[in-house]
Structure 1
Amino acid sequence: MVRETNRHFQFDWITIILFLLLVGFGWVNILSASHSGDIINYFDMSQPFGKQTVFIFLTFALIILLLAIDAKFYERFSSIIYIVSMLSLIGLFVFGKNVNGATSWYAIGGMTLQPSEFAKAATALAVAKHISDLNTNINNLKDQIKTFIIIIIPAFLVLLQNDTGSTIVYGAFFFVLYREGLPKYYLTIGISVIIIAVLALKFGATIASSIIGVLVFTYHFFNKKKITLFQSFFVLFLSIGISFGVKFFYESILKPHQQDRISLWLRLEKDPVKLEQMKQTFAYNLNESEKAISSGGFSGRGFMEGERTTGKFVPEQHTDYIFSTVGEEWGFLGCSLVVILFVLLILRILHLAELQKSQFSRVYGYGVASIIFIHFLINIGMVMGLIPTIGIPLPMFSYGGSGLWAFTILIFIFIKLDSNRINEW
């Protein structure tokens, strides 16, 4: 730690308060979702709420440490932090513990630690360091490739651990790169691939290709100066390749349970009886989660009064499905409060990021906001059945020490960087 002299710091208390509100309300819902019988000791380490209490107390110590370190430390040592984080991911293939089919944890005594959670912060620091380098030009293909490699390495290592949810989170860095000047055609390509993939799965590769063909040539004939006939045919053949490639990937590469999740999301099964059977067999958690949320009504059933929550109808409700507890016990009002808190936190971080004098701090701030946004969007969408089921926690809300500490590190490094803004030229 570098000693700081003649410096002034002003921490953003709005961000800190929003963080604390989310952590506190999260703990209340973890307590409701995980308790069994009378609660005698809130530090009961045999219960998830007891462990989370300890995790939260340790979080305050972590916050003090993060804010005590010199702000320049995070920029100077970002590369080392990134390398150490990647080594921790690689080490899982030798020393990792398999939990629910994913080898993503280190067993330390009676606890587990998930390095993929911390790798997000390390990657955000590395991306910020690379982009803010004087020799980096994000419009240059060579620098784009270097940036993509920094992001792809942890994503690939996490994917090999069979943790698809955490892998998808790395797509959040696209927003960061776009803010820093990544050419717009990347955005066009990304959105187009997603649309083609959904069309191919929903209607078949042939129909999807036909739809894309009609759109491409309609665009060509009405905008002759913007796209040539050769470009139209190139886009068409590329779309056909993507359509049939996605269909092949879905049928031959994805595992059966992954196919079932996508099938349920897109309603590929037309028979209502078979569809309901699939819900009960392959999407039990989601089915019960939707019932719990819908039963909450406008104002909810009340704290610890949710029948589906107290009855443990939703498996592992205190982790990825914690939002269903909010829906049942706090209703539409409680759900709206949680959404508003997350939106305010994300907007506040983006606002502070734009105020930064240092490009490193700005890029890192956008990385923090983007990661939180993707987690927030996917988790709540998953719990409500709006997107396929993906194992991903709700930031600061779901049970788990690794997740809580990782988001604490993400947010409070940025708070420290922002506090140093008045000392920068």
Structure 2
Amino acid sequence: MARNDPFARNIDWLTLALYIACVLMGWFNVYAAVYSPEMKTSIFDMSTDAGKQLMWIGTSVILIICVLVIDHRFYDQFAYIFYGFMIFMLLLVMVAGSNINGSHSWFKIGSFSLQPAEFAKLATSLALARYLDVPGVNLTKQKDQLYVAGIIGLPAVLILLSNETGSTLVFAAFIIMLYREGLPAIYPIAGITLTTLFVLALIFPLFYIFIGILVLAVVAIFLLPRYNRNVRSIAGIGLIGLAMVGIVAGVDFFVNDVLQTHQQNRIKVLVNPNIDPLGVGWNVTQAKIAIGSGRFEGKGFLEGTQTKFDFVPAQSTDFIFCTIGEEHGFMGSAIVVLLFVGLLSRLIILAEKQRSRFARIYGYCVAGIFFFHFMVNIGMTIGLMPVIGIPLPFFSYGGSSLWSFTLLLFIFLKLDSRRTSMLSRN
């Protein structure tokens, strides 16, 4: 335990206030999502998701206390041990885990379930911060890029093998931290380009896309300075164009022959929301109806009809934002969005203030993970993102997600408290 590290005096109280606001609002909305007018269950009823969520909140307070009393150096020194343990748990869950909603990624303990994939994001964040903090490590070097890719890729592949696609995609959030720490811009640019080509190939006929790539290649050649307009430069642009054509041509095969049926349906609904409103498009259609029906001020707490009559799926988990939109309207939804924008902004500000590279890198990992969850979860409820089933931090029901997000945040606040205590002593 760190003796001269008075956390209570050095904690970033604004971040703590944002955390408390999110958790309490999440708890009340979980209650609203599962509330039955006939049963009139209490918010403290342990047989409901709201009662269980209160228990998870209480145990999260215990976790917070544990995080704060441990010396800050513990998280650096034991980062690789945490990472190795989580790899072991991801392997174990594939053998001894339970299958829930088609995903073999849960440990069933009585009436409660625990998902190691949620904690793998925390362990990977610590491992990345530890590795990149080593003197001499530079993300412009190919060797270090491969090591980082291995640290991120190993848990991501294991999670994907347990059929948890949504949690796998979250690992793409680490690109934000990597770019901040010196990863060449070509990597995020390539990722954005691939994503754009993938979406365009789903929306437009391939012939039009091929013509567009050809036009872009010709324009790129003419924009080259005259002293660079040689055979080598033109051949390079041509190879990039051919690669783009190959990627576009492979999208159809990937979607129809590689992805599973439910994954294909989610992509089809994203491209054309009206393709099957009573079938594969039901979830997104009802989610948008629920949010839209709230209008400006909402229908009122516990007055949501789309929620109460089970039109919206996974109301207390993946689609919790529908309850917010229906019962609290645009105003309530805007408040939630502003809370997350405030939290993300604060995390980035604090990360940039860190005197330790380990703390800065870890802070950016936390911000990237929160941003990905926030963007995708809200995006999928309004039809802007595919439905991949990831929770809204601190709002969605679930012990694994609440614990993992709480640990992610408060480990960073513990590291930040060390910075402020050093400044105060100086």
- TM bin, normalised by shorter chain, reads over 0.9
For structure 1, which segment, 396-405 or 218-227, has the greater mean C-alpha deviation from structure 2 after superposition?
218-227
Distance 1:221 1:277 in 2: 42
Distance 1:315 1:368 in 2: 28
Distance 1:49 1:276 in 2: 34
- Picking from 221, 241, 248, the partner of 1:243 is 248
Is the 1:205–1:247 contact (alpha carbons within 8 Å) kept by the matching residues of 2?
Answer: no
Counterpart mapping for 1:334-373 below 5 A: 334-373=332-371
Distance 1:11 1:92 in 2: 36
Could you report, residue by residue, the CA deviation over 1:348-374 in whole angstroms, capped at 9, with x for unpaired residues? 010000000000000000000000000
- Picking from 382, 390, 393, the partner of 2:391 is 393
SS at match of 1:181: coil
In structure 2, what is the equivalent of residue 233 of structure 1? 238
Distance 1:226 1:123 in 2: 43
Residues 346 and 119 from structure 1, CA distance in 2 versus in 1: closer, same or farther, beyond 3 angstroms?
same
Shift of 1:423: 4.9
**2:163 matches 1:162:** yes
Shift of 1:206: 3.6
In structure 2, what is the equivalent of residue 50 of structure 1? 51
Q: Note the residue ranges of structure 1 that are not aligned, 5 or more in a row.
A: 268-274
Is the 1:98–1:105 contact (alpha carbons within 8 Å) kept by the matching residues of 2?
Answer: yes
Shift of 1:320: 0.3
Shift of 1:207: 2.8
Counterpart mapping for 1:119-134 below 5 A: 119-134=120-135
Shift of 1:304: 0.4
Give, as a single letter, the amino acid of the residue that structure 2 aligns with 1:31: Y
Distance 2:86 2:181 in 1: 25
Give, as a single letter, the amino acid of the residue that structure 2 aligns with 1:69: I
**2:94 matches 1:89:** no
Count of aligned residue pairs for this structure pair: 416
Could you report, residue by residue, the CA deviation over 1:3-53 in whole angstroms, capped at 9, with x for unpaired residues? 323344411111111011001000111001112234454332221111111
Distance 1:280 1:374 in 2: 29
Distance 1:142 1:205 in 2: 37
Distance 2:3 2:300 in 1: 51
In structure 2, what is the equivalent of residue 261 of structure 1? 266
In structure 2, what is the equivalent of residue 271 of structure 1? none
Counterpart mapping for 1:304-383 below 5 A: 304-383=302-381
Counterpart mapping for 1:7-156 below 5 A: 7-9=5-7, 10-36=10-36, 37-39=38-40, 41-156=42-157
Shift of 1:245: 1.7
Is the 2:2–2:69 contact (alpha carbons within 8 Å) kept by the matching residues of 1?
Answer: no
Distance 2:42 2:193 in 1: 53
Q: Note the residue ranges of structure 2 that are not aligned, 5 or more in a row.
A: none
Give, as a single letter, the amino acid of the residue that structure 1 aligns with 2:290: A
For structure 1, which segment, 301-310 or 329-338, has the greater mean C-alpha deviation from structure 2 after superposition?
301-310
Residues 226 and 200 from structure 1, CA distance in 2 versus in 1: closer, same or farther, beyond 3 angstroms?
farther
Is the 2:274–2:281 contact (alpha carbons within 8 Å) kept by the matching residues of 1?
Answer: no
Is the 1:200–1:207 contact (alpha carbons within 8 Å) kept by the matching residues of 2?
Answer: no
Among the aligned pairs, what percent are the same residue? 44
SS at match of 1:103: strand
Distance 2:252 2:71 in 1: 51
Is the 1:22–1:396 contact (alpha carbons within 8 Å) kept by the matching residues of 2?
Answer: yes
- Picking from 285, 288, 297, the partner of 1:287 is 285
Shift of 1:241: 1.3
In structure 2, what is the equivalent of residue 302 of structure 1? 300
Shift of 1:315: 2.1
RMSD: 1.5
SS at match of 2:256: helix
In structure 2, what is the equivalent of residue 223 of structure 1? 224
Shift of 1:287: 1.2
Is the 2:35–2:41 contact (alpha carbons within 8 Å) kept by the matching residues of 1?
Answer: no
SS at match of 2:108: strand
